[in-house]
Every structure is written in C-alpha cells, then in structure tokens.
Amino acid sequence: MAGWLMKKGLIQKVIVGADRIAANGDVANKIGTYSVAVLAQRHNIPFYVAAPLSTLDTSTPHGDLIPIEERPFEEVTHIKGQRIAPEGIKIRNPAFDVTPNELVSAIITEKGIIKAPYTEAIRHIFS
C-alpha cells in the first residue's frame, strides 16, 4: 500500500523512529522500515528518522554489527495455538531490519538535524 500511495503522489515525506542508529547513520527499526525507505527513494520522497540522541550508538560502526532479534517461529506458523503452516518449513521472523544510511535524508534529534556524511556529523554532535 505504501508504494501505491507514493506512486499516486499522496505521500510527500516519510518520518520513522529508530531503535538504534549506528555511528555511520545506518538505522535499526521495526521490520519493514527498510522496505519503506527503498520505496521512498524510488519515488523521490524524503525519508527522515526522528530519534533521541540516546538512540545513537557510536560504539557500533555500521548496521551490519547491530544484532537483529528473531521472534518465535510460532508467531508465523500458529494462530491461537493452532498450526496453520506445513510442518518442516523454514521460518525467519525478525523483529527489526537495518536501513542503510544512503536511504536516510536526515536524522532529526533533540539537538538538531543530522545530515550526511553521517559518521562525521554524528561525531560532531557528541563533541
């Protein structure tokens, strides 16, 4: 639905939160955030991340080092305790994904707006 709304010109900007932001500006957030960022880029729509400075993790250089929580497979294979998926199928149920910094237009914080290049800008905001 997001892609269709973007294509129709009904969305002018995207603003999401973040659970964690790496030192280079890669953003970990709820699953699906990365997909929305890709759609926004495809439709030339700015993609902003609004997060407190406490979300910035300068000890993690990039998003590939952010651990991604895997939720129980039963959340996908069962409803109210009843199996709805075939036995033996492989399930991935990540709770988060990581959006690469090149898809982020800016990071909005309580101390101001951080723009690329993110590594330098994030280092500067903490100095």
Domain carrying residue 116: 2-125
How far apart, in whole angstroms, are the C-alpha atoms of residue 123 and residue 55?
A: 14
51 vs 90, more confident: 51
H helix intervals, the chain: 2-7, 33-42, 74-77, 118-125
| Per-residue pLDDT reduced to its tens digit, 68-124 | 999 988 888 889 989 998 998 889 999 999 999 999 999 999 999 999 999 999 999
The beta-strand segments (E) located in 1-127 are 14-16, 20-22, 27-30, 47-50, 56-57, 78-79, 82-83, 96-99, 106-109, 112-114
Q: What percent of the chain has pLDDT over 70?
A: 100
Annotated catalytic residue within 19, 57, 64, 97: 19
Reported as a pLDDT band with limits 50, 70 and 90, residue 126 is confident
Q: How many domains, in total, are found in the chain?
A: 1
Read off the CATH number of the domain in which 84 is found. 3.40.50.10470
> Is 64 a known active-site residue?
no
